[in-house]
Amino acid sequence: MLKIQNIHTRYGSVPVLKNISLHVDRGEIVCIIGANGAGKTTLLSTISGIIRPYQGSISFMDTLIHRMSPDRIVKMGLSQVPEGRQIFSPLTVLENLEIGAFHRRKRDGKKKIRQDLEQVFELFPRLRERSGQLAGTLSGGEQQMLAIGRAFMARPSLLLLDEPSLGLAPKLVETIMKTITILNRQGMTIMLVEQNARKALSISHRGYVLETGRIILQGPAADLSEDAEVRRAYLGRDYSSVTERS
């Protein structure tokens, strides 16, 4: 579904991504783990067209997308939930969700969009209760739910999530992770960037480890959880709670 070949990305003259190749197959949850500054967000922004790679290629559903505008890439079915939420603060929860479905209005019609809205409210009942509230006044966790809900409203076939658990209480992290698996079971393919390696690996099929702009390890999530280097660098000492995907 997504195929990245030998991507190099720079900010000015500073290289950030160095010869990255990876793929995501339809139906998978694939996680990217790595420390602060490893290049995870840069990788997602390169995929979604916000940053242009200076070398290499990216194809999505057999179409080259690395020279396309972010808008066209979204229309092809690839949506990103950016790091730090980035919801529209002066708009209400409902308006934010409607904006998510904006480019589908003609294609799918109001009824289909209403059904999807209903599903977002079922996944996150808190958003239903607060549908008329200004998004900027939501709590951090509620804003994160809204950001995921808004991306869902675009009905992407591939959803890119940048640190969805950042700064959330453990219980809410569980809710977000559960929601990701539910969306995946419904047929959404997911690429997940996380510093919380334990959580990410527990719900993913496969993973890649990014270190200073290079992929240093890759494999099935269960194998990565067992890898000595991953355990030392990303799982800390208490790795007993890494569970296999159910």
CB of 231 to ligand ATP, least distance (A): 19
CB of 193 to ligand ATP, least distance (A): 7
Nearer to Mg ion, 83 or 227 (CB): 83
Q: How far apart are CA 193 and CA 44, in angstroms?
A: 8
Residue 230 interacts with ligand ATP (CB under 6 A): yes or no: no
Please give the helix or strand (H or E) that residue 41 lies within, else none.
Answer: helix 40-47
Residue 41 interacts with Mg ion (CB under 5 A): yes or no: yes
Could you tell me which stretch among 12-20, 47-55, 80-88, 211-219 binds Mg ion (CB under 5 A)? 80-88
Q: Which two tokens stand for residue 147?
A: 């950001």
Give the closest residue to 10 by CA, choosing from 22, 21, 20, 1: 20
Nearer to ligand ATP, 38 or 176 (CB): 38
Give the closest residue to 195 by CA, choosing from 230, 232, 163, 227: 163
Residue 37 interacts with ligand ATP (CB under 6 A): yes or no: yes
Number of CB atoms found within 10 A of residue 127's CB = 24
Q: Using CB under 6 A as the criterion, what x/- string covers residues 39-58 for binding ligand ATP?
A: xxxx----------------
How big is the chain, counted in residues?
246
Nearer to Mg ion, 143 or 155 (CB): 143
Angle at 235 between CA 24 and CA 212, to 5 degrees: 60
Q: How far apart are CA 197 and CA 208, in angstroms?
A: 11
Query: What backbone torsions phi and psi does residue 33 show, to the nearest 5 degrees?
Result: -115, 150
Q: Using CB under 6 A as the criterion, what x/- string covers residues 188-217 for binding ligand ATP?
A: -------x----------------------
Give the closest residue to 38 by CA, choosing from 165, 174, 195, 179: 195
Nearer to ligand ATP, 16 or 127 (CB): 16
Residue 13 interacts with ligand ATP (CB under 6 A): yes or no: no
- DSSP letter at 109? H
Residue 167 interacts with ligand ATP (CB under 6 A): yes or no: no
CB of 195 to ligand ATP, least distance (A): 6
Nearer to Mg ion, 37 or 236 (CB): 37
Q: What are the residues binding ligand ATP (CB under 6 A)?
A: 11, 16, 34, 36-42, 83, 195
